[in-house]
Amino acid sequence: MANSTSGDSVVDRIVRLIGAFPADGALSLSELARRADLPLTSTHRLVGQLAGHGLLEAVPGGIVRPGLRLWELVNRTSPTLLLRQAAMPFMEDIQQVLNQNVNLAVLDGWETLFIERLSRRGSVTNRAQVTGKMPVHISSAGLALMAHQDKALQTQYLDNFYDADSRVSTGCLRALLGETKHQGFAQLAGVVDADTWGIAVPILDSKQHAVASLGVVVPLREMRLQALVPAMQTAARGIARDLGVS
């Protein structure tokens, strides 16, 4: 039932409120209201109610962040939990060899959603944050995922593609997806950060559709591509096997 002048239901507003938090998970009350497109008074009231259930937490200084109860509920039933558990040993092995960033991602609409990342001190910059998103076309993880979807979904994606920065045309993206599918991995050099190289391989199910992608972010000077990609592909097959989807 809608009970606001805008016609929004309480559920609508709660979903917008929780969805407004960034990857680092902390906002001032006023910024939270702005991002959720809610009046400050409504935000204050909803935050108080959600904090009472442990779903949000208000900390000194007027800062609000997701609560432990929300984290508990999400992780208790999330299908990504099994994926992360299956992938973690393989991600740790790759990181041990590379000493660089390793990430795990899934497709969320036309965006890449990162569900796990391993990093070490001294590794190159990596903009992929856990629970953070990137457009498919600017991440090697996204390209590896989209290139291994069924044709209908790819067509829908390309028909709706729009690059706000006007750097990538639909034709170029179609060619890039075709190249990624043909070679079995995606690579993007210097796209998100000028001195980094993103490489990703798909984790495939029995129909050869990508359920996730395994990626690394390494320095541009990294020269071990011929050895690195087969190792990642072997890890991806191991994850699919342990996940029970291959």
- Whether 62 and 19 map to the same domain: the answer is yes
103: which residues sit within 8 A by CB, 6+ positions away? 114, 116, 117, 118, 126, 128, 141, 214, 215, 216, 217
Query: pLDDT (tens digit, 9 = 90+) per residue, 169-202?
Result: 999 999 999 999 999 999 998 776 777 889 999 9
Report if residue 2 sits inside a domain.
Answer: no
Tokens representing residue 41 in the block? 């008074």
In this prediction the pTM is: 0.76
At residue 195, the pLDDT reads 79
Residue with tokens 């992938």: 87
DSSP conformation class of 124: P
The DSSP string of 53-109 is: TTSEEEETTTEEEE-HHHHHHHHHH-HHHHHHHHHHHHHHHHHHHH-SEEEEEEEET
Calculate the average pLDDT of the chain: 88
**For residue 206, what is the domain's CATH number?**
3.30.450.40
The pLDDT, as a whole number, for residue 29 is 93
Residues of the chain with pLDDT > 90, as a percent, come to 61
- The answer to whether residues 115 and 134 belong to one domain is yes
Query: Is residue 128 located within the same domain as residue 98?
Result: yes
Q: Look at the block and give the residue holding tokens 């497109």.
A: 37
Last residue of a domain, one of 44, 73, 102: 73
Verify that 33 and 131 share a domain, yes or no.
no
Closest C-alpha among 129, 96, 98, 99 to residue 112 = 129
Domain shared by 174 and 143, yes or no: yes
Q: Do both 141 and 175 map to the same domain?
A: yes
- 97 & 23 share domain: no
Beta-bridged to residue 63, according to DSSP, are: 28, 59
Domain containing residue 182: 78-243
SS3 217: strand
- Same domain, yes or no, for 52 and 20? yes
Pair (69, 84) in one structural domain: no
Q: Which domain-ending residue is among 45, 73, 101? A: 73
Is the domain of 19 the same as that of 49?
yes
Count up the domains in the chain and report the number.
2
Residues 44 and 87 in one domain: no
Residues 59 and 122 in one domain: no
